[in-house]
Structures are given as structure tokens and as C-alpha cells.
Amino acid sequence: MREKKLKNLFRNRKGTAEVIGTIMFIMILLFFFTNVYLWHDAATKDADQLYVEKMNAGMSISFDNSSKQVIVNATSSEITLSMLWINSDSANVHVYANLTNVPVSPGDDNAITITFNKEGLPMNQDGAVPWVRHGNTIQIANSLPLNVTFTLVNTLGVMVST
């Protein structure tokens, strides 16, 4: 009698779909959460790498009032300049030069010098101040008012002001 009940239990197919469905559901959940974890891990590593690059992308900016030049130096690693803001609250001047892809190598010998000259450069249509690069000198088509401050931004978002 006991053997007959055991054979009937193995031959009975009721509930098989529920068991297989539950196992497949658990496998799908494991696959989904494994991918979420791997994505989160990769995003965290990328964010940490960007943070390290930002910390190492030091730069300094100084303004020589006598020659009206801004000198930009990279302190530890090569940087790429993105934008220069020129602000003067007394003259109500707030303009920017969109410095795209201007590399600055570390060291004093590779400093970028920014000069200002209103003459000789065509004006942009978008409101940005036009500029031209000649070697390590950038000429910006804007005359400087009094009490001016500069804010320089590199491509990593690191900002430095005078």
C-alpha cells in the first residue's frame, strides 16, 4: 500500500507549473538584481575616478594689473580650459569667453597668457566674447573695466577665481 501511494505521488502532475513558475521567477529576480548591482558598481567606480581627476586637476590663475594679462598655470596634471568669466560689478560687465579645448600643461613654462584687445576680432552671434589663440597666448576681444574679477573653469568643472 505504501509503495502504491509513493508511485502515485511521483505520477501526479498537479502543481508542477506553479513550482516551475516560481523557480523561473526567482531566477529572473536574481538576474535583474545582479545587473542592477553591477551597474551601480560601475557607476560608483566612474564617479570615484572623476573625483580623483578633479582633485588632481589643480590650476592657478593670476592677474597682472600692469600688463592687463591673466596667467593660467596647471599645478599637477594637464588640464583643458572650458570657460573664462569676466565680471565687474562697478562697470556692470558680466561676459564670458567660451575657451573650448585649450590644453595647459603643468609647469611655469607652459602657462597660458590671456590678453585683452577690443580691436581686430569679429563678434560672435551668441553673446560670448570671441577669442583667438596664438601659441600660449589667448587674445580676447574685450577691453577690461576697473575692478574686474576672473573665474576660470576647466572641462572637469574645477573653478578658480582671482
Q: What is the pLDDT along the chain (162 residues), one digit of tens a residue?
A: 667 777 776 777 777 888 899 999 999 999 999 999 999 999 998 888 777 777 666 777 777 776 677 777 777 777 787 887 877 777 676 777 777 777 777 766 667 777 777 654 555 555 577 777 777 777 777 766 677 777 777 777 676 777
Residues 6 or more apart whose Cβ sits within 8 Å of residue 107: 73, 74
Whole-number Å distance between alpha carbons of 24 and 30 = 10
CB of 107 closer than 8 Å to CB of 75? no
3, three cell numbers: 509503495
Instruction: Give the burial string for 111-142 (b: 16+ CB within 10 Å, else e).
Output: bbbbebeeeeeeeeeeeebebeeeeeebbbbb
- Please name the CATH architecture into which domain 58-161 falls: Sandwich (2.60)
The verdict on pTM exceeding 0.75 is no
Nearest to 132 by CA among 145, 144, 122, 146: 122
- List the chain domain ranges: 2-54, 58-161
